[in-house]
Chain A
Amino acid sequence: MKRREFLAALAGAAISPAALAQSVPLERLLESATRGAPARPGRVKLELPVLAENGNAVPMKVTVESPMTAADHVKAIHLLSERNPVRNMATFHLGPRAGRAVVASRVRLAGSQRVVAVAELSDGSFWYDVAEVNVTASACMDES
């Protein structure tokens, strides 16, 4: 990481300082996925480590209880961040051919924050789960 990159990184894991200033309230985050429809906690299990040693790659797994039949399945899972400059981290579109509603990936987190997973079901309902991650930074500066 060269000097300039290092300075940008100091501002907060390669994210601009201004963007880190405010967290988005949970209601606003949910709205961005449901477009105003009500969302209930439950059925969704969002797994992230409680402590992430580096925000650049944090393992994430989201599971939704669903029979995944044509009549009753998960249409999409939205992954939202309360502090990243890009709040909508990802959307995973599933459907009955998925067999199970389980998606895993690695996310980038701009500092300690809550992450929300919102599941959109075939009957139009929305369910969510919240996970809180404590992201620690490197002890030493790296300009390599």
Chain B
Amino acid sequence: MAARIQVPAEARRGEVIEIRLLVRHPMETGYRVNERGQTIARNAIRTLTCTYNGVEVFRAELSPGIAANPYLQFTTVAESSGTLEFVWVDDAGERAVERAAIRVVE
């Protein structure tokens, strides 16, 4: 699953930074029908987690009530240099992992 991630490359310790995500995913509702009259199975991202150097700092439980190609924006405190890891799983069991590095200065 492709995704766009925006995390500042560098931040001051204690600074509240903004994280933005845009994920390529149909977030299929399960109510649409194809041209053959068959229901297109529901398939939406169920959970999206952000961990900061291994500690969970944000978790979203989503549903088809979130638009296709979901956009998420949230904040976290810049604590220490390291990695922000984003993991999400959808109804079909597909799992995706993306990472972004952050450098934290005094």
Contacts and interface: CB of A to CB of B under 8 A. Distances in A.
A4 B37 CA distance: 6
Interface stretch (B2-10, B59-67, B85-93, B94-102): B59-67
A85 B17 CA distance: 35
Given A86-B65, A99-B76, A8 B33 contact: yes
A139 B10 CA distance: 47
Nearest to A84: B65
Interface string B5-20: 0000000000011000
Interface residues of A, number: 38
A57 to B, nearest CB: 4
B33 A107 contact: no
Nearest to A92: B60
B74 A102 contact: yes
B22 to A, nearest CB: 10
Contacts, number: 112
Contact of A104 (B27, B33, B73): B73
A35 interface: no
Given A107-B66, A108-B64, 12 more contacts: A8-B33, A14-B32, A81-B65, A91-B60, A92-B74, A97-B76, A99-B17, A100-B75, A103-B73, A106-B66, A108-B65, A108-B67
Interface of A: 2-5, 7-9, 14-16, 56-58, 61, 79, 81, 84-86, 88-95, 97-100, 102-108
24 contacts: A3-B35, A5-B33, A8-B31, A9-B32, A14-B31, A56-B67, A81-B65, A90-B61, A90-B66, A91-B60, A92-B60, A92-B74, A93-B58, A93-B59, A93-B60, A97-B52, A98-B76, A102-B73, A104-B71, A106-B71, A107-B65, A107-B67, A108-B29, A108-B65
